[in-house]
Amino acid sequence: MDEARAPAKHAVADVLIPVAVDQTYSYAIPSGLQLEPGDFVEVPLGARKTFGVVWGISPAAGGKLKSIEARLDFPPLPSKLREFLDWVAAWTLAPRGMVLRMAAHAAVEAGAEPVRIGLRATGAAPKRLTEARRRALAALPPDLAPSKAELARQAGVSPSVIDALIDDGALEPVALGPERAAEIPCPDFCRAELSDDQAKAAEILRAAACENLFKPILLEGVTGSGKTEVYFEAVAETLARGGQVLILMPEIALTSQFRDRFAKRFGVAPAEWHSELTPRRRARVWRAAADGAAQVIAGARSALFLPFKTLRLIIVDEEHEAAYKQEEGVIYHARDMAVVRARQEQCAVVLASATPSIETRENARQGRYGYIRLESRYAGRQMPVLKAIDLRQHGAARGKWISPPLVEALKRNLEQGEQSLLFLNRRGYAPLTLCRACGHKFECPNCSASLVEHRFRRALVCHHCGHVERRPDICPACGQAETLSACGPGVERLAEEAAELLPEARLLMLSSDMPGGTERMRAELQAIADHKFDLVIGTQLVAKGHNFPYLTLVGVVDADIGLSNGDPRAAERTFQLLNQVAGRAGRGEKPGRALLQTWQPEHPVLRALLSGDFERFYAEETATRRLARLPPFGRLAGVVVSGSDRNATEVFARALARAACLPAENAGWSVAPPGELPGEADIAVYGPAEAPIAMVRGKYRFRLLIKAPRKANIQAFLRAMRGRGPKPTKDLKISIDVDPQSFL
């Protein structure tokens, strides 16, 4: 610890509390209590008590302060983590208390670890030895102390037999430590034979992991090139040196394949961190990160805020994934923050992807990040062949979505005993339901969005707020029967069509909204890998990261779906997603191919995918961004004002925009006057405009878009705007999103 010991008497602790407030609160430290920055404490807050973390300690300044109630028995937050939390709050403009909450809540929420009691033999003989008692004593393992229930189960006796043995003095209870949160991985458990390219890449990563210096590296490798095997070598090196590793993954709850591969390489599964863990389990992993017992943690984005003792390596797998952006509460991008955390910890960070984001690519090109490429698939396997099906010439029949050439290909693949995947990134049966008689559309009462029909659940569902209603038999507007019509396809409808076309195929539809949750999906993904299905129909859930060795044909039902949504990253996203999906094909013995149904095969994204000329795509897309001064060549921030009264919300948003445009003295930035073309160094404020999804959960939404030059301090600008604009109320809220990924 580099911080000085706190003076014992009458000092003041500045405590950060996990609520939506930026400042610390000052509390008197009662005499006799030793505190240091990072310590967890219990403090009074209004009428209640809460936990907080000591952020600083200063000499007493007079005045009456409330006292700290107690020091809590949790490992203190390390100083580097506290600095990181401050940094994240400053960058995202989120209140520091909320950022602390992400880092500390798990430690506290589960309450104290229950004391576990085990039993061991005292050596004394029981007064009476019945057959059941003999069995119980014989079942007692020599070096473990099982619980009463465990022992009773193992011996096949009732718990009262065990009680009797305790009363007799033959067994005695002993207190056990908490359950282990993590197994110890072995760096040399089973090394993979690496190809030459892989070995070269692994060597660079290993070297970086040894340096104890901030070192970001982009590991770009085509789908199936074995990026995982390669970064495992850096993990092994870090383990051998006693460091901890964090592996971030976009869909950790679904990656049982990853867990198995890790176990094959290192002998045990990694500790996991995601939202589906129980609070108790989370608390244990949290503690194990803090005391170093968890050497490798594989987790979702929030694992970034764990209190690692000696973090030496961070891996961000599928670094381009939009799932790394948290869109609620503290709005942050876990990939970007991972790089920041690595800088704070002075360690290596590996960003792995087959289709890196433009931002990361550009950082690599400019030499800010190291850059490694794997150009081919492992073991000489071929990349899938991509072909377009031009829907202008080969459209599907009316009310159908699978074109004749795709039908043909699916049939042939089935005959050959091979597995196919139909990909459509749309959940449910149909995205729109309307009345053919009167034109009535079913819309969400809380959001400006159509209700999506989910035929399986017999419901109309809003994908924005979760509103559910029964699909009626008669039109609520005109009262006619049998006039309601499903428009457009979702995966459920596609599955129906596929089942008609290929009645003999073993068919699986996979979608995140089916009953059974994660457990079921894990099992189904495994069943696909084991070739228990001939045809899989799914959303992006099946498209990413999985290894399906029997899959040889991917049919993309609507390759154009993401191209026209007005998002500046639309082209990049579509390119990444389609490449990922196609990359599921041909990973086993047999070569694979992907057929992309499209209305615009000449679109640059499709051209790049079909020709395999990724360099050209990156070059063109990067040039477009540079010209438009979009990220990474400029900065963006989205500001959403929401409220339950449309007019009041708009008025508020206008006032906020005016405040943003006020000239500021010595601020270090200049704002383009409203309505005028921004100059080279100006920050521009666009809007307010009604958001594309104008209402969500009953709140009207207006958006401002702030566009700033790369060098501008956009945070300072946003802070000034917030400081000078109208103040939010209980109803009218401002949400700031620095570097937005979503423009809805």
Ligand X SMILES: Nc1ncnc2c1ncn2[C@@H]1O[C@H](COP(=O)(O)OP(=O)(O)OP(=O)(O)O)[C@@H](O)[C@H]1O
Annotated binding site for Zn(2+): 435, 438, 444, 447, 462, 465, 475, 478
Stretch that binds Zn ion, among 186-194, 306-314, 437-445, 559-567 (CB under 5 A): 437-445
Distance CA 256, CA 547 (A): 11
Q: Are 274 and 257 in contact (CB under 8 A)?
A: no
Of 346, 446, 483, 670, the one binding Zn ion by CB under 5 A? 446
* Positions in 509-538 near Zn ion (CB under 5 A): none
Q: Taking the chain, what is the end-to-end CA distance rounded to the nearest angstrom?
A: 45
Distance CA 358, CA 337 (A): 17
Q: Are 92 and 326 in contact (CB under 8 A)?
A: no
* Positions in 614-673 near Zn ion (CB under 5 A): none
Q: Which is nearer to ligand X, 2 or 615 (CB)?
A: 615
Q: Which strand ranges, in their side-by-side order, compose the sheet holding 70-71? A: 25-28, 12-16, 48-58, 40-45, 70-71
For the range 358-362, what are the long-range contacts, defined as Cβ-Cβ under 8 Å and sequence gap of 24 or more?
358/569, 358/572, 358/618, 358/621, 358/622, 358/625, 358/631, 358/632, 359/631, 359/632, 360/218, 360/319, 360/320, 360/335, 361/218, 361/220, 361/618, 361/622, 362/622, 362/632
Q: Are 712 and 670 in contact (CB under 8 A)?
A: no
Fill in the amino acid letter for 199: A
Distance CA 664, CA 661 (A): 9
Q: Which is nearer to ligand X, 24 or 255 (CB)?
A: 255
**Minimum CB distance to ligand X, residue 352 (Å):** 7
**Minimum CB distance to ligand X, residue 124 (Å):** 55
Contacted entry of Zn ion, ligand X, none for residue 227, CB cut-off 5 to 8 Å set by kind: ligand X
- The binding site consists of 435, 438, 444, 447, 462, 465, 475, 478
Q: How many residues bind Zn ion (CB under 5 A)?
A: 7
Bond preceding residue 688 cis, omega within 30 of 0: yes
**Kind of pairing between the strands at 699-709 and 634-643:** antiparallel
Instruction: Tell me the H-state helices in 399-445.
Output: 404-415
DSSP 318-386: TTT-GGGEE-SSS-EEHHHHHHHHHHHHT-EEEEEESS--HHHHHHHHTTSSEEEEE-S-GGGPPPPEE
Two tokens, residue 308: 């690692």
Q: Which is nearer to Zn ion, 42 or 690 (CB)?
A: 690
Q: Which is nearer to ligand X, 546 or 635 (CB)?
A: 546
Neighbours of 515 (CB within 10 A): 7
* Positions in 14-73 near Zn ion (CB under 5 A): none
Closest CA to 280 of 75, 114, 145: 114
3-state secondary structure of 526: helix
Q: Are 237 and 210 in contact (CB under 8 A)?
A: yes
Phi then psi for 389, rounded to 5 degrees?
A: -110, 115
**Minimum CB distance to ligand X, residue 549 (Å):** 7
Contacted entry of ligand X, Zn ion, none for residue 464, CB cut-off 5 to 8 Å set by kind: Zn ion
What sign does the dihedral 458-463-467-473 (CA atoms) show?
negative
**Minimum CB distance to Zn ion, residue 464 (Å):** 5
b/e code 146-157 from CB counts within 10 Å (16+ = b): bebebbbeebeb
Of 12, 94, 447, 720, the one binding Zn ion by CB under 5 A? 447
Distance CA 374, CA 228 (A): 12
**Minimum CB distance to ligand X, residue 243 (Å):** 22
Q: Quick check: 227 binds Zn ion (CB under 5 A)?
A: no
Of 108, 289, 409, 444, the one binding Zn ion by CB under 5 A? 444
Distance CA 145, CA 165 (A): 15
Contacted entry of Zn ion, ligand X, none for residue 444, CB cut-off 5 to 8 Å set by kind: Zn ion
Contacted entry of Zn ion, ligand X, none for residue 467, CB cut-off 5 to 8 Å set by kind: Zn ion
**Minimum CB distance to ligand X, residue 264 (Å):** 9
Instruction: Show Cβ contacts of residue 735 under 8 Å, excluding neighbours closer than 6 positions.
Output: 331, 639, 640, 641, 642
Neighbours of 712 (CB within 10 A): 19
Q: Which is nearer to Zn ion, 467 or 625 (CB)?
A: 467
**Minimum CB distance to Zn ion, residue 467 (Å):** 4
Contacted entry of Zn ion, ligand X, none for residue 228, CB cut-off 5 to 8 Å set by kind: ligand X
Q: Which is nearer to ligand X, 547 or 600 (CB)?
A: 547
**Minimum CB distance to ligand X, residue 191 (Å):** 9
Distance CA 288, CA 301 (A): 18
**Minimum CB distance to ligand X, residue 224 (Å):** 4
Contacted entry of Zn ion, ligand X, none for residue 97, CB cut-off 5 to 8 Å set by kind: none
Contacted entry of Zn ion, ligand X, none for residue 463, CB cut-off 5 to 8 Å set by kind: none
* Positions in 450-469 near Zn ion (CB under 5 A): 462, 464-465, 467
**Minimum CB distance to Zn ion, residue 462 (Å):** 3
Q: Which is nearer to Zn ion, 89 or 462 (CB)?
A: 462
Contacted entry of Zn ion, ligand X, none for residue 198, CB cut-off 5 to 8 Å set by kind: ligand X
Contacted entry of Zn ion, ligand X, none for residue 194, CB cut-off 5 to 8 Å set by kind: ligand X
Q: Which is nearer to Zn ion, 86 or 469 (CB)?
A: 469
Phi then psi for 188, rounded to 5 degrees?
A: -110, 20
Stretch that binds Zn ion, among 15-23, 328-336, 363-371, 441-449 (CB under 5 A): 441-449
Instruction: Show Cβ contacts of residue 418 under 8 Å, excluding neighbours closer than 6 positions.
Output: 550, 551, 552, 553, 590
Contacted entry of ligand X, Zn ion, none for residue 583, CB cut-off 5 to 8 Å set by kind: ligand X
Q: Which is nearer to Zn ion, 465 or 507 (CB)?
A: 465
For residue 685, what is the enclosing H or E element?
A: strand 682-696
Contacted entry of Zn ion, ligand X, none for residue 447, CB cut-off 5 to 8 Å set by kind: Zn ion
* Positions in 467-496 near Zn ion (CB under 5 A): 467
**Minimum CB distance to Zn ion, residue 699 (Å):** 11
Q: Which is nearer to Zn ion, 454 or 625 (CB)?
A: 454
Contacted entry of Zn ion, ligand X, none for residue 225, CB cut-off 5 to 8 Å set by kind: ligand X
Q: Which is nearer to ligand X, 60 or 192 (CB)?
A: 192
**Minimum CB distance to Zn ion, residue 489 (Å):** 21
Contacted entry of ligand X, Zn ion, none for residue 618, CB cut-off 5 to 8 Å set by kind: none
Q: Which is nearer to ligand X, 531 or 658 (CB)?
A: 531
With the CA atoms of 422, 428, 432 and 435 taken in that order, what torsion angle do they form, in degrees rounded to the nearest 10?
120
Chain residues that interact with ligand X, rule: CB under 6 A: 192-194, 198, 221, 223-229, 354, 378, 545, 547, 583, 587
Q: Which residue is nearest to ligand X (CB)?
A: 226
Stretch that binds Zn ion, among 63-71, 267-275, 439-447, 662-670 (CB under 5 A): 439-447
What separation in angstroms does the CA of 364 have from each of 163, 207, 351, 504, 697? 66, 18, 11, 49, 41
**Minimum CB distance to ligand X, residue 605 (Å):** 19
Residues at the site binding Zn ion, with contacts judged by CB under 5 A = 444, 446-447, 462, 464-465, 467
